[in-house]
């Protein structure tokens, strides 16, 4: 018997399987498919400098930069994921890369917030009614994130749990290409927030939160509307404002109890009756259900161990331009002085 025929006889994987029975190679991950409407494609072109004909070329350019400059960075390099960062920085490659690096740096530098970050770990926050996303978008297509600090009882859990819930919500919202283009609006109701409760959000916490929202997350914040704020809020905001970039600072609007002022920015037909709207009562159960249904996605993204190589990146991953600890101490002293002068 020839050597070739003997080989065939002793290789059942070849000899006994027909062509149709041969194992198939694993499927390749699906490529990017744009879900934007024609109007949003036009908006992205005009506001974000996104050109559909160059989109995949731009994504590949960013991917190549990550591989070259941060070869050990543990990050997704999928088209859809990288597009979030390009859109958030108007397709400026260098700025998009820095945002991506900051995004991961924020997660590494604040383990109290980002470790074990999943909806089921935050049921107390979700059930409290601390936050929700309104069912209707504003006229620009922005989702409205509604936050109610008065629903938080500090003795039940630390303030970082609230920040975790906000971050989860941002992560869920940014999955939508529509949100990547349109951005979001924040509506914060400070009714009933006392001095003791406000003191939990000091400059050290503010430093980290501002760093994430400005330089560490790929989302466009189009406006922040504050309603029912107590007298102490203006004093606190006066201290925080210098640390905000001018563009973001100019998007803060303090309405007090004047809901008519709010309605000039957010129409009544998208607001719940609690804020003088006609869209029914404010409810949080629907958004809680959305988040809890995404449990597996968050476990995959936030509940995996950090690789040794990734942890070696260290300092370069930390967001740039944040205030120092010494500045935080100065700010804390100024906050106390400003707050007590309000009384």
**3-state secondary structure labels for all residues of 63-102:** HHHHHHHCCCCCCCCCHHHHHHHHHHCCCCHHHHHHHHHH
Residue that has been written with the tokens 């037909």 in this structure: 269
Q: Is 224 helix (H, G, I), strand (E, B) or coil?
A: strand
Question: Measuring CA to CA, which residue among 248, 149, 147, 128 is closest to residue 194?
Answer: 149
Higher per-residue confidence, 254 vs 4: 254
Higher per-residue confidence, 106 vs 26: 106
pLDDT tops 80 at residue 320: no
pLDDT tops 90 at residue 310: no
In this prediction, residue 30 carries a pLDDT of: 59
Strand-pair category, 252-256 with 221-227: parallel
Question: Measuring CA to CA, which residue among 78, 130, 75 is closest to residue 100?
Answer: 75
Alpha-carbon gap, residue 125 to 161, rounded angstroms: 7
Higher per-residue confidence, 45 vs 312: 45
In this prediction, residue 207 carries a pLDDT of: 85
The pLDDT of 93-103, averaged and rounded, is 98
Higher per-residue confidence, 229 vs 231: 229
In this prediction, residue 295 carries a pLDDT of: 95
In this prediction, residue 306 carries a pLDDT of: 57
pLDDT tops 50 at residue 319: no
Least confident range from 91-105, 151-165, 197-211, 217-231: namely 197-211
pTM: 0.83
Contact 262, 225 (CB under 8 A): yes
pLDDT in tens, 4-16: 444 434 444 434 4
pLDDT tops 60 at residue 51: yes
In this prediction, residue 204 carries a pLDDT of: 83
Contact 100, 66 (CB under 8 A): yes
pLDDT tops 80 at residue 45: yes
pLDDT tops 90 at residue 120: yes
pLDDT tops 60 at residue 29: no
214: Cβ contacts below 8 Å, ≥ 6 apart: 244, 245, 248
How crowded is residue 173: how many other Cβ atoms within 10 Å of its Cβ? Answer: 19
Proportion of the chain above pLDDT 70, given as a percent: 79
Contact 118, 302 (CB under 8 A): yes
Of the pLDDT bands very low, low, confident and very high (cuts 50, 70, 90), residue 280 is very high
Higher per-residue confidence, 328 vs 8: 328
Q: Average pLDDT of the chain?
A: 84
pLDDT in tens, 204-224: 888 899 999 999 999 999 999
In this prediction, residue 173 carries a pLDDT of: 98
Strand-pair category, 143-147 with 131-133: antiparallel
Question: Measuring CA to CA, which residue among 215, 233, 217 is closest to residue 225?
Answer: 233
Of the pLDDT bands very low, low, confident and very high (cuts 50, 70, 90), residue 240 is confident
Contact 87, 46 (CB under 8 A): no
Least confident range from 43-47, 79-83, 153-157, 315-319: namely 315-319
Least confident range from 139-148, 151-160, 194-203, 205-214: namely 194-203
Least confident range from 67-76, 223-232, 296-305: namely 296-305
**Which two structure tokens, joined as six digits, stand for 163?**
């920040």
Contact 306, 108 (CB under 8 A): yes
Tell me the torsion sign for CA atoms 4, 10, 13, 18: positive
Contact 303, 196 (CB under 8 A): no
pLDDT tops 50 at residue 52: yes
Higher per-residue confidence, 338 vs 260: 260
319-327 contacts at long range (C-beta below 8 A, 24 or more positions apart): 319/102, 319/105, 319/106, 319/211, 319/212, 319/215, 319/216, 320/98, 320/102, 320/215, 321/215, 322/207, 322/210, 322/211, 322/215, 322/243, 323/203, 323/207, 323/243, 325/204, 327/203
Contact 261, 268 (CB under 8 A): no
Proportion of the chain above pLDDT 90, given as a percent: 69
């Amino acid at each position: 018997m020839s050597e070739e025929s003997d080989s065939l006889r002793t290789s059942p994987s070849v000899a006994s399987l027909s062509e149709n029975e041969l194992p198939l190679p694993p499927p390749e991950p699906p490529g990017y498919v744009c879900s934007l409407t024609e109007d949003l494609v036009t908006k992205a072109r005009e506001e974000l400098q996104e050109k559909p004909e160059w989109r995949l070329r731009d994504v590949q350019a960013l991917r190549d930069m990550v591989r070259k400059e941060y070869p050990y960075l543990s990050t997704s390099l999928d088209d859809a994921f990288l597009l979030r960062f390009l859109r958030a920085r108007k397709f400026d490659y260098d700025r998009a890369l820095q945002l991506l690096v900051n995004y991961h740096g924020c997660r590494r530098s604040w383990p109290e917030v980002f470790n074990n970050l999943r909806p089921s770990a935050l049921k107390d926050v979700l059930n409290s009614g601390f936050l929700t996303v309104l069912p209707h978008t504003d006229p620009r297509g922005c989702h409205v994130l509604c936050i109610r600090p008065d629903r938080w009882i500090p003795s039940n859990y630390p303030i970082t749990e609230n920040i975790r819930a906000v971050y989860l919500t941002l992560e869920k919202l940014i999955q939508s290409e529509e949100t990547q283009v349109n951005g979001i609006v924040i509506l914060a109701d400070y009714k009933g927030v006392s001095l003791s409760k406000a003191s939990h959000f000091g400059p050290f916490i503010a430093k980290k939160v501002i760093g994430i929202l400005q330089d560490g997350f790929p989302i466009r914040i189009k406006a922040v509307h504050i309603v029912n704020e107590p007298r102490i809020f203006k004093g606190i905001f006066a201290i925080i404002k210098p640390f905000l970039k001018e563009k973001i600072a100019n998007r803060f609007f303090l309405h007090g109890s004047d809901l008519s002022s709010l309605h000039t920015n957010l129409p009544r037909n998208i607001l719940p009756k609690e804020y003088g709207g006609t869209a029914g009562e404010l409810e949080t159960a629907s958004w809680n259900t959305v988040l809890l249904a995404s449990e597996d996605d968050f476990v995959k993204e936030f509940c995996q161990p950090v690789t040794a190589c990734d942890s070696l990146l260290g300092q370069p991953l930390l967001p740039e331009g944040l205030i120092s600890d010494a500045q935080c101490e100065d700010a804390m002293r100024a906050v106390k002085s400003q707050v007590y002068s309000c009384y």
